[in-house]
Structure 1
Amino acid sequence: MKTIYLIRHAKSDWGNPGLSDFNRPLNQRGKHDAPLMGQQLRSLHVKPDLMLSSSAKRALETVTAISKELGYPNHQIQFEENIYHASTRQLAQIITGLNDELDTVALVGHNPGLTYFSNYLTDDLIDNIVTCGIVKIELEIDRWQEIIEGIGRKIYYIYPKMY
């Protein structure tokens, strides 16, 4: 059995039009929500074997805040530039390339790709993973390469406004 947590980055700041999309930081709400959701994951006893994140600034800030709450060492976070603007196919390629010794993976990324990937993995569709929303999906597989459409089961979808 494999488990994946799909985590959309927290709310970002649009206040500086001179910044590229890739370099936008979190806004105040995002800086509040990311640790809050990390605390929620901790209360659910989440212990990822790997935290994998887009290297965009808002994703980096999100994964750093969540990992701190989970006690996951920052130096072990893996950053993957291809997660930024990734399609379902690209996200599937990233996940199927993971080491099979890893059973629980948290992936921090962006919409619309993250929502599309969640809907690819499960038949329990989500319209839109909101900022800092987290979808837990269990996969009845032994190897990441066994991922196919509809193989997952959504266990929960949580987001900041629930708390």
Structure 2
Amino acid sequence: MAKNLFIIRHAKSDWSFDVNDFDRPLNQRGYDNAPAMATRLAQYAVHPDKLISSPAKRAITTAQLFAERLGIPPEDIQTDGRIYEALPNTLLEIINGLDNVYNSVALFGHNPGLTLLVNYLADEDVYNVPTCGIVHIRFERVENWVEVSGGIGTNVWFAAPKDGA
């Protein structure tokens, strides 16, 4: 049995508000892109059965918009404060600590950590996971999340809003 990880960067956020980084909301493009990308994910062959998000406003809002399209109750979204401003080592700790009852998990967070994580897990050279970008990494022959480590994943699917439907 394989494990599947969807790494999803928060949708486009608004810089015009006089709020700290953590509290920045989505802008209109973000509110447009997140449901569209969630619909693309809903039509994809593999769906996440668990959503985990940074508690930052732009990330949790993105996760909620995805949950709505994926038929997952928003209250089932798990937040983890370690995701905000995390680098790959911290994100890997979160992944390694996932409950093995879940075979497919979506992780909503921020750059540069998410792009660095994709490159670490799949031994890739992805320049940038754009806002609302989705990367599906599959870990073949991994039965326990604690086994996930660098270079053992395969980048199966990489989608971004600018790719179109």
Q: Which category describes the TM-score, using the shorter chain as reference length?
A: over 0.9
Identity within the alignment, % = 46
Q: Which runs of 5+ in 2 are unaligned?
A: none
**Number of the residue aligned with 1:132:** 132
Q: State the match for 2:107 in structure 1.
A: 107
| Runs of 4+ with deviation above 2 angstroms | none
2:26 is equivalent to residue 30 of structure 1: no
Corresponding position of 2:76: 76
Q: CA deviation at 1:45?
A: 4.0
Report the Cα offset of residue 125 of structure 1. 2.0
Residue in 1 aligned with 2:144? 143
| Pairwise CA distance, 1:31 | 0.4
Q: State the distance in 1 between where 2:75 and 2:28 align.
A: 25
**Aligned residues of 1:46 and 1:70 also touching (Cα < 8 A):** no
Shift of 1:47: 2.5
| Counterpart-to-counterpart distance in 2, 1:159 and 1:34 | 10
Paired amino acid for 1:149: G
Q: How many residues align?
A: 162
Deviation at 1:124, TM superposition (A): 2.6
SS at match of 2:6: strand
Aligned to 1:7: 8
Kept in 2, the 8 Å contact 1:34–1:65? The answer is: yes
Write the distance in 2 (CA, Å) between the matches of 1:96 and 1:148: 8
* Compared CA separation, residues 67 and 45, structure 1 to 2 (3 A): farther
Give the Cα–Cα distance (whole angstroms) in 1 for the partners of residues 128 and 62 of structure 2.
Answer: 18
State which drifts further: 94-103 or 41-50: 41-50
Tell me which moved more, 4-13 or 47-56. 47-56
Give per-residue Cα distances to partners, 1:5-45, cap 9 Å, x unaligned. Answer: 000000000001x2000000000000000000000001114
Under a length normalisation based on structure 2, what TM-score does the superposition of the two structures give?
0.96
CA distance in 1, matches of 2:29, 2:73: 24
Q: What's the CA shift for 1:104?
A: 0.2
Give, in whole Å, the separation in 1 of the partners of 2:91 and 2:123.
Answer: 17
Encode CA deviations 1:30-88: one digit per residue, 9 max, x unaligned: 00000000000011144212100000000011001111111111111001111000110
Which deviations, in whole Å up to 9, do the C-alpha atoms of 1:104-142 show, x marking residues without a partner?
000000000000001110123210000000000000211
**Are residue 60 (structure 1) and residue 57 (structure 2) matched?**
no
